[in-house]
Structure 1
């Protein structure tokens, strides 16, 4: 009987642990590690990966001179910011990485954010790196392409919102342009925070 208990109890605990963790699992989760960074925000203050550790955050890639997708993406990020407040979800950071850092200096990003009534207390528009850096950073950390063609003022970039956990790992991506799954994003944030 003791031998049976020694075998069954651990198996039961493993089953229980697996069942609990599956309930909290984000469907089709990814697991991309965001590389360490320290960039400048719209107030010319340093924001680093270390500053974001312990917090859930949502990231996107935009630029202020964009003539197509960035305006609706930023409007959608503002809607997400409002939904988080409505749902009482706290301690979530929103991060918009500029894909055109030569143009998007901190003051330009602040003006851009103000057009959308961004609450800068938890939404940072980041710059302060080279074009090469954002292109490699986006690919290495988020598995998305950023590319500024020679002689063109427009930048090719992802239209996704990426959900990053408290350890700095990208766990899911969603459309940031059309048919935004706001309910899923909120639900997944709550799952990470529980």
Structure 2
């Protein structure tokens, strides 16, 4: 008895599995075929995502040199991805400035506010800006005596048109001095 299974995925990939054997071997062939099919589907899914991302990147003429091995293009992040990237880089920026006393702050002790394409000094240079403010509702901020009715500026992050993550502390805001803290997505 011969079985033929054909599956089309996303119109791009056609998978055919054929099994031969008698009825006593059908169940083992079937489970083996299912395992192979599952692997092919997973492999084609990840290949499809990579191909889709590469096609998207190429069609926009964006360089992917500023991306990690997981192919995250830092020039076109969602707001959630941008905030995750900022939070992942708080340790060597905002937290380094704040963690000088007994209270040890984390990225959850701050809020991240999208400010569009306008920086703290009114810059319009193709970057997207996020203001980082103290979250005075957090337990750590309250333990440090923060006033829950205020929310102080802790600093600014921007993602440049080239996909670099840069930081400017609140203290340096007037000098417009940005420091590159990451060029590959690690959110």
TM more than 0.5? no
Tell me the TM-score normalised to structure 1 length: 0.24
Higher helix share: 1
Tell me the TM-score normalised to structure 2 length: 0.25
Q: Which has the higher contact order (CA 8 A, sep 6+)?
A: 1
Higher Cα Rg, which structure: 2
